[in-house]
Structure 1
Amino acid sequence: MRWMRALAGLLLVTAAVTAQQGTARAAACSAALPQPDAYGITCTNVTESEQSDHSKLRDVTMTSTMIFQPAGGTPVINPLTRPITVRVYLPPGYDPDRSVPYRTLYLLHGGGDNYDTWTTRGDVVARLRAALFDGIVVMPTGGMTGWYTDWAGRTDGYFAPKWESYHNSQLVPWIDANFNTVADRSGRWLAGQSMGGYGALKYAATHPDLYSAVGAFSPGIDLRAAPAQSTISDSMWQSGAAILWQDPGEYRVNKYEPGSIFPVPDPVVQRRYRLENLFGPPTETVFHGATVDDWPAANPADLVTQGKYAPYSGKLALYAGDCDRVPHTPNGSEPAPADCGYDTTRTDGATGTTEGVLGAYASEFDRTLTTLGVGHRYCYTRAGHDWSAWQSYLVDFLTYASGTAPPLCPVS
């Protein structure tokens, strides 16, 4: 009996400590933020670190009613909501009471990354200093392969994330309520790399009331392209809705044989199933001489022809690499030369999305913007799909969006 009383006492102590920790974290939220629980977001903890230049990185851990939601059945995870973190960069001398509010950059991460990757790999504090950017930067969690989308279907575990609603309908007003921001589109910019570049283009097109400038670094652009569909399909079974690499198989997306635990072996069937669960039912269209699936409401290559980027004329920047030969350093206002070797028709047989594939579609996107009269900056380079390139693209974009375009594009 003694051991039972001891165990009961230990459990009571553990529960008390856990409760105290929860109370302390809630107090940290209330002490650091004027409206920690608002717009469907509940703050659970706040930590802050000062950088060498006296800027600060404030990490806010929160839950959102959008991450996750039940989908197609009874969710196998409990609780359904997952803690997610937003990293907020506050410039040196940030003053919550300053009469002139701060502009805000929403900086989206790529596939397999998280809210902290722009600082751990992108050296973002130094890049902001180099660009003389004196605003706030919001670096949100977007899921390892969430694709900045309100998922139309479900994971294998009968739940799904609504990333677009979380970022745009919840996080944007929450940031405005808790920091001294310019609380309208004129003070909000948007940028991202790779999957985050796709997200930046998608959010810019679908939320022109929220953002005034957009930068896309090595972005995914055309969902009709075979390499894009293969990459997205692979990401659905590799990580799906996972927020962390160690998240279990229930976060993945697969089509199974009826009454079986074994996935359907046909890759074409799996690809369509996975993309339908992400974007919804496709529209069939002819692309490069073949009938393919398309999602016009989520495809930047379609959105541009619908005039969705006109509100960003003069404030849209596009960057991609793997140009075979750069005859001279581009100035941001000219199309990629034939020397680059960009050709979207040559990429149809690619098994995945490489920087060369992204570069070819970026070149095509640039030509479409020019034809439609949408002022923009386009930089092609020899760089790869890597952080050294994205760091230089970020500095270039911030300088351009501030109103003074650099005379030349970044050099790889």
Structure 2
Amino acid sequence: MTAAPTRTGLTVVSRQALGSRLVEYTVDSAAVGGRTSLRILFPAEYTVDTHRRFPVLYLLHGGDDDYRSWTDKGEAAETTEKFPLIVVMPDARNGFYSDWEKPGRLGTPRWETYHLGELLPWIDATFRTIARREGRAAAGLSMGGFGAFSYAARHPDLFVAAASFSGVLDTNRYSWITEIAARRDGGGFGAIWGDRLTRATRWRAHNPWDLAENLRGMTLAVRTGNGMPAEREHRRPDPVEAIVYHQSVRMHRKLGTLGIGHHWHHRRGVHDWPQWIDDLRATVPLLAEALADPPSAPDPFSYTSAEPEFAVWDWTVTFSRSHREFSALSHVDREGFALTGSGTARVRTAAWYEPGLRYTVHVEDPSGTRPGTVLADREGRLSFSLRLGDRNGTAWVKIR
């Protein structure tokens, strides 16, 4: 089967039913730069109640596995059988769920752009999903645990829950793990996020530990073994699981320091499928509960990013600055916000205001105090610029 490109940049190449619930798709992706595949598990009710919409669980694989792994090795079909979830299992090769900085043997894939900019909109446009934050969760193992938490932290307006099983949750530690993954996809040193020494901020811009504050308001689960074999595992201690255990502990402590509630489970165990099968079985009910009764979004909200431009919760911030650094949009509600960073920033608010009305906007930034008025556009958005200075300046904005 050959189809025309969809509006999301995907071309569906083939569809194959593998069972009563499992379907495999092959697509051409502009972001990946070629053909890639995914599997989808549909709930049993999907074909029975044709008017009902269902939440989506994005279930992400680990390194050296692929989109087939959760169904072939991880008992995903059996585990999710009784839950009203659409389970999407995309491929990511060894790409660490990121847009690559440099090309490898397979080109310069943009995995984050594919998963969130192409695949997610295609899923919502094609199937009967609950196409909003309250209807999406992400979970994954190892590299996929990184993907689930990184995606949720970088895009908190897209996901209401995230779960990591033996996840790579802090690339500030054991950073060579990602370098090994890139090499297995033909990438050289620094292929994913650049040289760690010179592009450290880009690394940290994807790192769940550095972005933990953005996870506030979600249902979160962190599960890991400690590298010591359980009684059923007749093998030696596992240094890989010991490493991700250390990273998971750091994330657990960071969330605790921030006062962000989460489900934490650690035990004896190695980096292998018997543990991850148990993890999925224990976590799917938690995710299903969060999707059935979603936690409220933070209000006011705060968001941290090191991108030169970001869009979150319907707000857009674009920086003009000499270097990449972290910035924080914080304490955001209808009456104002704070923005920390450098250079100048162009801010476009959410559509929270009355179109055509003028609002008093009082700005205090490193350049001084500037009262003024801003006209809300036809969508009810306000737009204005802020001058933050050379480094780590803060602008306080009051809107009346």
TM range (shorter): 0.5 to 0.7
> How far apart, in 1, do the equivalents of 2:26 and 2:198 lie?
41
Q: In the alignment, which residue of structure 1 is the partner of 2:355? A: none
1:120 aligns with 2:80: no
3-state SS of paired residue (2:249): helix
The aligned counterpart of 1:374 is 260
Q: Residue 96 and residue 325 in structure 1: after superposition, are their counterparts in 2 closer, same or farther (change >3 A)? A: closer
Aligned partner of 2:203 among 295, 317, 324:
295
- Are 1:67 and 2:32 matched, yes or no? yes
Residue aligning to 2:104: 155
AA paired with 2:214? K
1:44 counterpart = 2:9:
no
Of the three residues 82, 92, 112, the one matched with 1:142 is: 92
Q: Would the alpha carbon gap of residues 231 and 97 (structure 1) be closer, same or farther in structure 2, given more than 3 Å must change?
A: same
Percent identical across equivalent pairs?
A: 33
Q: Could you tell me how far apart the structure 2 residues matched to 1:160 and 1:117 are?
A: 24
Q: Could you tell me whether the CA contact under 8 Å between 1:108 and 1:192 is conserved in 2?
A: yes
For residues 88-107 of structure 1, what are the alpha-carbon distances to aligned partners after superposition, in whole Å with 9 as ceiling and x for unaligned?
Answer: 11121313863330111000
Mapped to 2, the partners of 1:134 and 1:174 lie a distance apart of: 20
For the Cα contact (< 8 Å) 2:85–2:288, is it kept in 1? no
Q: Deviations over 1:310-358 (max 9, x none)?
A: 131xx000000026699xxxxxxxxxxxxxxxxxxxxxxxxx9610111
Superposition pairs for residues 316-327 of structure 1, below 5 Å?
316-322=220-226
Q: For each residue in 1:135-170, what CA deviation from the matched residue of structure 2 results, as whole angstroms up to 9, or x when unmatched?
A: 110000112x1110000122257x300000000011
Could you tell me which amino acid in structure 2 is paired with residue 60 of structure 1?
Y
The CA distance in 1 between the partners of 2:206 and 2:49, in whole Å, is 39
- 2:214 equivalent in structure 1: 308
1:311 counterpart SS class: coil
Alpha-carbon distance between aligned partners in 1 of 2:89 and 2:287, rounded to the nearest angstrom: 18
User: Which residue type is aligned with residue 220 of structure 2?
Assistant: L
* Cα deviation 1:66-103 (Å, max 9, x = unaligned): 112xxxxxxxxxxxx2x211101112131386333011
Q: Quick one: which amino acid aligns to residue 9 of structure 2?
A: G
TM-score, normalising length from structure 2? Answer: 0.66
Pairing 1:237-252 to 2, within 5 Å after superposition: 237=183, 239-240=184-185, 252=186
Q: Does 1:102 align with 2:54?
A: yes
Indicate the SS of the match to 2:26: strand
1:170 is aligned to 2:123:
no
Q: Which has the higher strand share?
A: 2
Measure, in 2, the Cα distance between the counterparts of 1:388 and 1:217.
Answer: 12
After TM superposition, the score normalised by the length of structure 1 is: 0.64
* Of 253, 256, 278, the match for 2:192: 278
* CA displacement, residues 209-238 of structure 1 (integer Å, 9 cap, x when unaligned): 211110100000121223xx222222322x
2:293 paired with 1:359: no
Amino acid at match of 1:235: A
Matched residue SS, 2:255 = helix
Query: What's the CA shift string for 1:217-261, capped at 9, x where partnerless?
Result: 0000121223xx222222322x22xxxxxxxxxxx123xxxxxxx
* Match status 1:58 vs 2:23: yes
In structure 2, distance between residues paired with 1:45 and 1:155: 26
Deviation for aligned residue 1:282: 4.0
Unmatched 5+ residue regions in structure 1?
1-24, 30-34, 69-80, 241-251, 255-273, 286-291, 327-351, 405-412
8 Å contact 1:59–1:85 — kept in the other structure?
yes
Task: Give distance in 2, aligned partners of 1:98 and 1:104.
Answer: 16
* Distance in structure 2 (CA, Å) of the matches to 1:369 and 1:182: 28
AA aligned to 1:214 is A
Give the secondary structure class of the aligned counterpart of 2:210.
helix
Secondary structure in 2 matching 1:279:
coil
Q: How many aligned residue pairs are there?
A: 283
| Residue 179 (structure 2) pairs with residue 233 (structure 1) | yes
AA at the equivalent of 1:302: D
Structure 1: distance between partners of 2:228 and 2:73: 26
Over 3 Å counting, the alpha-carbon distance change for 1:190 and 1:213 in structure 2 is same
Alignment gaps of 5+ in structure 2: 231-237, 291-400
Contact kept in structure 1, 2:227 and 2:241, CA below 8 Å: no
**Residues 96 and 180 in structure 1, CA contact (< 8 A), matched pair in contact too:** no
Tell me, in whole angstroms, the C-alpha distance in 2 between the residues paired with 1:178 and 1:294: 34
- 3-state SS of paired residue (1:199): helix
1:401, CA displacement in angstroms?
A: 2.2
| 1:91 corresponds to 2:43 | yes
CA contact under 8 A between 1:153 and 1:278: conserved in structure 2? Answer: yes
Query: Within 2, Cα distance between the matches of 1:234 and 1:323?
Result: 20
What is the aligned partner in structure 1 of residue 370 from structure 2?
none
- Kept in 2: contact 1:185–1:212 (CA 8 A): yes
- Equivalent-residue separation in structure 1 for 2:111 and 2:202 (angstroms): 20
Matches of 1:401 and 1:47 in 2, distance apart? Answer: 28
Shift of 1:193: 0.4
Q: Distance in 1 between matches of 2:201 and 2:57?
A: 33
The one of the two structures with greater contact order (alpha-carbon pairs below 8 A, sep at least 6) is 1
